[in-house]
Amino acid sequence: MARCRGGGLELTAFRALDRAEWQGLTEEAEKLSALLAGRDPAVYGRYGHWWDKGVPGTESVIVKG
């Protein structure tokens, strides 16, 4: 899962990822950030309840947008 957070994207994995998987996910997130750069991140705020309820993630990382 990903959400806008602190000028970047917070990535949450549902299972443990190895180094190569995190690298691939990070590259994909950077491309997604470029696509969403001109959009207001508040538009996606209605999905924030997923995190409030507790995302069943094992690891999280924030990547630059």
Amino acid at 55: V
CB count within 10 Å of CB 9 equals 24
Mean pLDDT within 5-24: 88
**According to the model, what pLDDT value does residue 51 have?**
74
Q: Residue 47 — very low, low, confident or very high, per pLDDT cuts 50/70/90?
A: confident
- Give the 3-state secondary structure of residue 10: strand
Mean pLDDT across the chain: 82
Contact 13, 28 (CB under 8 A): no
CA dist 25 and 52 (Å) reads: 23
Give the start-to-end residue ranges of the domains of the chain.
Answer: 2-40+50-64
